[in-house]
Amino acid sequence: MIQLNQPLDVGGVHLRNRVFLAPMSGVSDLPFRQLAWQAGAGMVVSEMVASAELCTRERGNLLRLKGDGLGTHVVQIAGREARWMAEAARIAEGEGAHIVDINMGCPAKKVTGGLSGSALMRDLDHALTLIEATIAAVRVPVTLKMRLGWDNDTINAPQLAARAEEAGVQMVTVHGRTRCQFYEGKADWPAIRAVRNAVSIPLVANGDVLDRDDAISILNASGADAVMVGRGAYGQPWLPGTIVHGIGQNAGGVIADYAVAHYEAMLTHYGEPTGIRHARKHLGWYLDVHGSGVGPAERGSIMTETNPQLVARRLHAALSRFSAADLKKVA
């Protein structure tokens, strides 16, 4: 039986355990990943970076490549043209990425409408040209994230995974839904086992993992080697580490201290005006998960305030009623 705290080798890169933080657009920026890493996640993955846009070297895209303070730096890229995927992979490697991950799972219409993300599962031949170009461009391991298929009539993750392994991909992650499901219904963990049967490289199972019991169940159902946590980490970036280690090793102090540290890190990362805007969704998630006793007026005073010192003070006051023991609710 796989132990969550066991290390895993991916193309020569040592991952310290088997519970990972998923790439999430607008969420898994550097401050979020730093907190997840410090709390004990085995691997954290950047927000998806559009390959062609990255090649313009625009500041916002380059920010997504930052990996300061991360023992293992993983950058996810997306696109539909081999030349841009190759160049983006080279840029990511040049910025210190230990692993380059290819996105073929994003279901967002703005991504699939551009024939990227999970839309690539409708044309495996074209998908392979992108995989091959990316692998040829870098010396670091290349991994792949996908869904089960485009819809229930085209469950082709096993075929894509097998062809990706043959091309040189070092690890595959599968979200247990089709693109057309988006995030509706329950992820189909047993369906991921068909991918396990198709490849010998490490397999990561993703979808609806909210606690340690879920992590063990998805591994048992899928036969995967590791688990990836996505939306369950909203408002609790320590969740992957908590699943691995339990409370104590990764509580990081009381929730209030953790949330304020996250807020201040975002202001440093983006600069104050942009950071204040980006941080609001995270403040909302912290209050949703840990501030059930916070009333509308208090919540509003936190969410709409533009003075960072006041935001930090009010957020800490609101969440300080909850001790580190409250982390047990997500363990």
* 3-class state of residue 314 by DSSP: helix
pLDDT of residue 322: 63
Give the least confident one: 106-120, 268-282, 289-303: 106-120
The DSSP secondary structure of 177-198, one letter per residue, reads S-GGGTT-S---TGGGHHHHTT
- Residues in Cβ contact with 26 at an 8 Å cutoff, skipping those fewer than 6 apart: 47, 278, 281
Section 239-256 average pLDDT: 72
Contact present, 71 and 44 (Cβ < 8 Å): no
- CA triplet 121, 96, 35: central angle to 5 degrees? 85
250: pLDDT strictly greater than 80: no
Section 26-33 average pLDDT: 96
CATH number at residue 106: 3.20.20.70
Confidence of residue 248 (pLDDT cuts 50, 70, 90): very low
Confidence of residue 247 (pLDDT cuts 50, 70, 90): low
- Give the residue from 209, 225, 245 where a domain finishes: 245
pLDDT tens digits for 43-78?
A: 999 999 999 988 888 888 888 899 999 999 999 999
183: pLDDT strictly greater than 90: no
pLDDT of residue 130: 97
180 is catalytic: no
pLDDT of residue 214: 97
DSSP letter at 99? E
First-last CA distance in the chain? 20
What is the C-alpha to C-alpha distance for residues 104 and 80, in angstroms, rounded to an integer? 10
* Residue 285 forms part of a structural domain: yes
* Residue 93 forms part of a structural domain: yes
Task: Give the chain's mean pLDDT.
Answer: 92
Q: Are residues 66 and 170 in the same domain?
A: yes
Q: Please tell me the total count of domains within the chain.
A: 2
Q: Are residues 135 and 221 in the same domain?
A: yes
pLDDT of residue 112: 73
Which stretches of 209-327 are assigned E, i.e. beta strand?
Answer: 226-229
* Residue 250 forms part of a structural domain: no
pLDDT of residue 244: 94
Q: Which domain holds residue 304?
A: 255-330
Section 160-184 average pLDDT: 95
- Give the residue from 225, 245, 265 where a domain finishes: 245
pLDDT of residue 110: 76
User: Residues 48, 75, 100, 106: which is the catalytic one?
Assistant: 106
Section 304-311 average pLDDT: 96
* Residue 306 forms part of a structural domain: yes
DSSP letter at 162? H
pLDDT tens digits for 212-224?
A: 999 999 999 999 9
205: pLDDT strictly greater than 90: yes
| Percentage of the chain exceeding pLDDT 90 | 78
